[in-house]
Amino acid sequence: MKTITRLALFISLFVIAQATAFASPNNVIRNEVAKKFSQSCGATVRAAAKDGESILVTVDDSNAVDANCVVIDVAVALHRVNDRIGTWKQTSVAIGKKSFVFSRKVFEQLRSGAINDKQFLKQVKRK
């Protein structure tokens, strides 16, 4: 009986791992950003899409969310899934009519610890 239970658990974990490995970059990004938002700023992801070398994350602006917190959370989420989403050059975070854009170069500086959150936010372009 223990062998059957262990086998069933192994098969379940294998299937979950395979499903995750083949998830589209859009789903990977959306899920990770939503997870990070739930842990921190409380924002809601409307959509996440990777189109070629650009990533767009759209955030529901019905809640009063701190834009800086949202942008940092998106960067943290991208750091967590970086190896599963392929290459990209820039990320746009849209909160209502406001847009915040950061480059891969600035992201890598944050990721490596060369700059801190405050310095990162100074380099984020606001549109």
pLDDT, one tens digit per residue, over 58-85 is: 998 877 689 999 999 999 999 999 999 9
Query: b or e along 23-61 (b: 16 or more beta carbons within 10 Å of the residue's beta carbon)?
Result: eebbebbbbbbbebbeeebebebeebebeeeebbbbbeb
2 lies in some domain: no
95 lies in some domain: yes
pLDDT at 108: 96
How many structural domains compose the chain?
1
3 lies in some domain: no
7 lies in some domain: no
6 lies in some domain: no
Beta strand pairing status for 125-126 and 98-103?
antiparallel
**CA 95 – CA 9 distance, rounded (Å):** 41
9 lies in some domain: no
15 lies in some domain: no
Domain containing 94 equals: 24-126
Least confidently predicted of 8-12, 21-25, 123-127: 8-12
